[in-house]
Amino acid sequence: MVRVISVDAERFPIAGVFTIARGSKTEAEVVTCTIRDGNHAGRGECVPYRRYGETIEGVVAAIEAVRVALEAGLDRTQLQAVMPAGAARNAIDCALWDLEAKMAGASVARMLRITPAALETAYTLSLAEPEAMATQARANAARPLLKVKLGGENDAARIRAVREAAPGSRLILDANEGWTDDNVAENIATAAALGVALIEQPLPAGRDDKLRHISRPIPICADESVHAAKDIDSLVGLYDAVNIKLDKAGGLTEAIKLRDRAREAGLGVMVGCMVGTSLAMAPAVLLAQGADYVDLDGPLLLARDREPGLVYDGSLVSPPDGALWG
């Protein structure tokens, strides 16, 4: 039977405004790929990311470019060879995982030979002035793990404001490449003095060699500097951990390889996300089993999620039900 492929661009409103060092957004723009084979259908969601030159239109076009091959039966292994890593491949790869599980009458968790459990996820505080970030932190001070978006001037004041407002929470700082050679050491020292647990991508990818030559009292995690398993060797000695995102890796297939290679190299593992719906988070929840840090709060930042969605209990996110994915 010939497969039927559909591609949809969708928008989900964010609760308020989400701001990082590169700009602000009020909605999550996603692309969903659905692959039908007889009575079974698999879905995958991706979030095009302008940081890597991706757009909704470009991702849709990239999926359409392999439509004939997908309809003819292109599988996940073949997909890795015909498409580069990125959002478009992620949507297809996750749809193929979902379809494979449904056709086999099994779950993706069973295919991976894991028994998934609920995970503690970070909750993200949007970049703002110190007082406004303190207000966000105070409202979420009961959460055990907060991720703090930074990358502007006077980040030291932001770190202090958040720490004072949420004294009991562990903190991850995410500069999104926004620090400089002039302030990175000072910001790391401030973070260390305030008991921060982890710092993500303080310097721009490709211009981060300074991290080899400064004191790192806090683990430093690569985000924009890591996409696929092939990147790991260049990060050893430069970073202490990697943030794995399905949209960067180009799907669950490559993300598993990246996770395993990172562990072999002695690096810590974070599993993160773009701002997307529960459909995008679902495969990442399985990937994140056993991760050192989990940042899969995308649906918590939305005003409206998919139905059914993942179940969140405070900062605990449960594994996906088959009606959603996998």
- Active site residues per annotation: 149, 245
> Which among 154, 85, 165, 153 has a CA at the least distance from the CA of 125?
165
Distance of CA 107 to the CA centre of its chain: 22
Kindly state the tokens that stand for 307. Answer: 């139905």
Indicate left, alpha or beta for 197 from its phi (over 0: left) and psi (-120 to 50: alpha).
alpha
In 10 A of CB 314, how many CB atoms?
12
d(CA 100, CA 116): 19
> Which among 297, 224, 234 has a CA at the least distance from the CA of 267?
234
Question: Please, are residues 87 and 28 in contact by the beta-carbon 8 Å criterion?
Answer: no
Distance of CA 211 to the CA centre of its chain: 23
> Which among 250, 161, 201 has a CA at the least distance from the CA of 22?
201
DSSP-based three-state secondary structure for 128: coil
In 10 A of CB 61, how many CB atoms?
12
